[in-house]
Structure 1
Amino acid sequence: MKKDFLFTSESVTEGHPDKLCDQISDAIVDQFLRRDPFARVITECAVSTAIVFISARFESDAIVDFTKIARQVIKQVGYDQADFNAKTCSIMTSLKELPHSENRCWDEKKLSEAEIEQIPVKDQVTVFGFACNQTQALMPLPIWLAHQLARRLTTVREEKILAYLAPDGKTQVAVEYKDKKPHRIYSITLIASQSKLLGANLQRLQEDLRESVIDVVFADEELKPDANTRIFIDSDDPFAIGGPSVHSGLTGRKNAIDTYGEYSRHSGAALSGKDPTRIDRVGAYAARYAAKNVVAAGLANECEVQLTYSIGLSRPVSIQVETFGTGKIDDEEIAVILEKNFDFRLAGIIREFNLRYLPAIVKGGFYKKLAAYGHVGRLDIGVLPWEEIDKVPILQ
């Protein structure tokens, strides 16, 4: 296994077309669950020049205005230019209301252990959770920094520190590792779209982003850029607003950004646009929960948890642990400990994380907040249930 290497991860702002789709999809999930905690819904979205397409299948008593939600998200993200905005974009929907099933309204909090055991998953998937001790959030440093830069790009636009920026932006950070530990920042890349009316020239853009984004983000980081760090600040077109008028977007196309920046494996299934009964979403949260507690407990410096589910069964058919040679005990022993102390059953995960009721509890929606800047490793929106390290005493 390599000990000295270079690793790069990227992030995007909430105005990136793919992330815009994720946010619309999750805002719809939030609205369903806010009105009907037992709703089942799968929503996918696509955007392109002046058009939004929403496809949804749902089983619920709630009445949801898909078009209104999409326009609200577009406006909140900041698209108000003639090329693409909430008022004039066309919105097409393909909606299918599913027939009511007898067991839709099962409440995990009221079920016995035997009853929870009888609730199977309805999909087959392999999900991954990962944690490492490179950052305070127990996330890989490259994706952590890329997210911080992307979030700062949005902040300086919203607070009008750099009022000429448009919502669409991308970031990338390359970290040089020595002996498997972050050693130096090799390169930083920022791509920011601009308003056609207020756009700055390239020199001003580079100076502004260095001062208002890069310097601010790294001020609190232990590892900072050095004299040899390569910094690239550019725009495909200095006066292009970016977004759907330039490139299309689709729900679930940024899985690496949603998880670990490809430092660890991730499932091919989208996380956004799905209610909590979808194991390909909540299983990934449960796997992260397990991996993070393993690292927080000091059992390993890095830990990847793999869960494999099959249709018709309540428990994963396989629980695999990989600590990449950093484990204090055997990986097989850690897997046994996890199986004994973590509930990886679908209904158990929903109950443990209170996933049906969080959209009604969290102001502004819950799942929509996850749709940009990562579903894991978040410290900016309160402690997520799967980011808790409450199992550490048991694991130790």
Structure 2
Amino acid sequence: MRVEMVPDMIFTSESVTAGHPDKLCDQISDAAIDAFLGQDAAARAIVECAIASGVIFLAARFAAEADVDLPTLARKVVAEAGYVEGRFDARRCSILSSFTELPADLRAPPSDRDEDAEIESVVAQDQANVFGYACRETPELMPAPISFAHRVARALDEERRGADAGWLSPDAKTQVSVQYRGGEPARVHTISIAAVVSPEQRRAELEERLRLIATRAFDESPLRPDAATEFNLILNPRAPFDVEGPARHAGLTGRKNGIDTYGEYARHSGAALSGKDPSRVDRIGAYAARHAAKNIVAARLAERCEVHLGYAIGRARPLSVAVETFGTGAMPDPELARLIEQRLDFRPAAVERRFALRTLPSQAGPAGFYRRLALYGHFGRADLDLPWEATDVAETLAR
């Protein structure tokens, strides 16, 4: 999906909180990737999860010198998301599994040597068109609607983890609609929150509380709600209070691609990012493309930039490196594409090594590295020191 921005429009992006069933699945899948790589940096693993009322299904294929208890890990993620009692909880839910352990020689090759021939020998295992995007709408160079939606979702999760946590469900959805004028974000038009809340408190009190939480989420934002901003609060929709999360609707790994990327404001590959080790080019290629696009914008070579990398199965180098700056580039788009291709190595092994994608999980501590990406997006994360968010080559590109 490519958004052709018009000068005046309203664009909406959404995020969800930690207990949303799709995001539970993403967190479980990425917690498993952290666990495998934390014990064996050469591990290869694909972990997918489905969740419904009372049931978690785990499917994993892996080659690793590691001992990972995936069912126990899944229960830990569910409990930490807030499901410790009620119609769905971490202790009582059933876990079904399908695990395939592959031969150890299918693990990743050693990554301590940088000979070009070795890097060239690591090829894409599948076809992938991946996209990276950056723009000047926010300090983290992300589109404003998705950045703001994540802020509100994070604020709800922080509120729920507080001392007075019982009034708010772990499963909530946030949407922020931004009004554009002259192609630039001008105001926060609407903030929408759908949540299950305690029926024991007055609706007016709950609505005011949610308005305050949402408004505080913009405290350090370049754009804030104004007197005309609408608050659309949908509380306890379609079911009683005790029906929430997986007891209300099913979840699946990789189903929230827009939330994981750019809020549907820019193109993404459609492939799941979570549950895949760094040998999967549809995951790490998306990180490499975002890094390139962000550095082009940081170097002031464009106000908005999309980078496309096209990989073919069995090939190391992308067949396509393309740049689109939507008429904002300081030089023609083909020249920018040649520039990043000269300065950045997009081969899978080079990306994996440049971003240290196999060693970061062992350094991340109990919270994990990949698991933290499964909430609030894989891009624009000012709260995390992500290697693909660094603007470390902007100065080199600007020369």
TM-score band w.r.t. shorter chain: over 0.9
Structure 1 residue 130, shift from structure 2 partner: 0.4
What does 1:138-157 correspond to in 2, within 5 Å?
A: 138-157=141-160
3-state SS of 1:394 partner: helix
3-state SS of 2:176 partner: strand
1:226 aligns with 2:230: no
Q: 1:107 maps to which residue?
A: 110
CA distance in 1: counterparts of 2:86 and 2:190, whole angstroms:
35
Q: 2:201 maps to which residue?
A: 200
Once the two structures are aligned, what percentage of the paired residues are identical? 50
Q: 1:95 maps to which residue?
A: 99
1:181 aligns with 2:184: yes
1:39 aligns with 2:43: yes
CA distance in 1: counterparts of 2:242 and 2:262, whole angstroms:
30
1:63 aligns with 2:103: no
Q: 1:353 maps to which residue?
A: 355
After TM superposition, the runs of 4+ consecutive aligned structure 1 residues lying more than 4 A away are none
Structure 1 residue 158, shift from structure 2 partner: 0.1
Q: What are the superposed Cα offsets for residues 171-217 of structure 1, whole Å, 9 maximum, x if unpaired?
A: 0001111111001111110112235xx75332222011112x12211
Range that drifts further, 214-223 or 315-324 = 214-223
Contact 1:168 1:243 (C-alpha < 8 Å) held by counterparts: yes
Q: 2:123 maps to which residue?
A: 120
For the structure 1 residues 374 and 128, does the alpha-carbon distance in structure 2 shift closer, same or farther, using more than 3 Å as the test? same
1:311 aligns with 2:313: yes
Q: 2:343 maps to which residue?
A: 341
3-state SS of 2:192 partner: strand
Contact 1:206 1:234 (C-alpha < 8 Å) held by counterparts: no
Q: What are the superposed Cα offsets for residues 25-77 of structure 1, whole Å, 9 maximum, x if unpaired?
A: 00011000011111110010011001100011111121211111001101111
Contact 1:166 1:241 (C-alpha < 8 Å) held by counterparts: no
3-state SS of 2:42 partner: coil
CA distance in 2: counterparts of 1:217 and 1:58, whole angstroms:
40
Q: 1:253 maps to which residue?
A: 255
Q: 2:58 maps to which residue?
A: 54
TM-score by length of 1: 0.96
Give the residue type in structure 2 aligned to 1:28.
A
Contact 2:86 2:242 (C-alpha < 8 Å) held by counterparts: no
Q: What are the superposed Cα offsets for residues 262-309 of structure 1, whole Å, 9 maximum, x if unpaired?
A: 110001110000000000000000000000000000000100001110
Contact 1:139 1:260 (C-alpha < 8 Å) held by counterparts: yes
Structure 1, unpaired ranges of 5+? none
Contact 1:156 1:163 (C-alpha < 8 Å) held by counterparts: no
Q: 2:294 maps to which residue?
A: 292
Q: 1:371 maps to which residue?
A: 374
3-state SS of 1:303 partner: strand
Structure 1 residue 115, shift from structure 2 partner: 1.4
Structure 1 residue 83, shift from structure 2 partner: 0.6
CA distance in 1: counterparts of 2:108 and 2:126, whole angstroms:
19
3-state SS of 1:110 partner: coil
Q: 2:211 maps to which residue?
A: 210
CA distance in 1: counterparts of 2:7 and 2:15, whole angstroms:
25
Structure 1 residue 240, shift from structure 2 partner: 4.2
Structure 1 residue 220, shift from structure 2 partner: 2.3
For the structure 1 residues 182 and 238, does the alpha-carbon distance in structure 2 shift closer, same or farther, using more than 3 Å as the test? farther
Q: What are the superposed Cα offsets for residues 325-361 of structure 1, whole Å, 9 maximum, x if unpaired?
A: 1111111110000100111000000100000011100
Range that drifts further, 153-162 or 299-308 = 153-162
3-state SS of 1:219 partner: coil
3-state SS of 1:137 partner: coil
Q: 2:86 maps to which residue?
A: 82
For the structure 1 residues 14 and 388, does the alpha-carbon distance in structure 2 shift closer, same or farther, using more than 3 Å as the test? same
CA distance in 1: counterparts of 2:313 and 2:362, whole angstroms:
30
Range that drifts further, 313-322 or 161-170 = 161-170
For the structure 1 residues 289 and 50, does the alpha-carbon distance in structure 2 shift closer, same or farther, using more than 3 Å as the test? same
TM-score by length of 2: 0.95
CA distance in 2: counterparts of 1:296 and 1:81, whole angstroms:
47
Range that drifts further, 313-322 or 237-246 = 237-246
1:275 aligns with 2:277: yes
Structure 1 residue 241, shift from structure 2 partner: 4.7
Structure 1 residue 109, shift from structure 2 partner: 2.8
Contact 1:257 1:373 (C-alpha < 8 Å) held by counterparts: yes
3-state SS of 2:131 partner: strand
1:131 aligns with 2:138: no
Contact 1:164 1:194 (C-alpha < 8 Å) held by counterparts: yes
Structure 1 residue 238, shift from structure 2 partner: 6.3
1:17 aligns with 2:21: yes
Q: 2:163 maps to which residue?
A: 160
3-state SS of 1:41 partner: strand
Give the residue type in structure 2 aligned to 1:295.
V
Structure 2, unpaired ranges of 5+? none
RMSD across aligned C-alpha pairs, in angstroms?
1.3
Give the residue type in structure 2 aligned to 1:69.
L
Q: 1:170 maps to which residue?
A: 173
CA distance in 1: counterparts of 2:179 and 2:246, whole angstroms:
34
3-state SS of 1:109 partner: coil
Contact 2:284 2:352 (C-alpha < 8 Å) held by counterparts: yes
Structure 1 residue 234, shift from structure 2 partner: 1.7
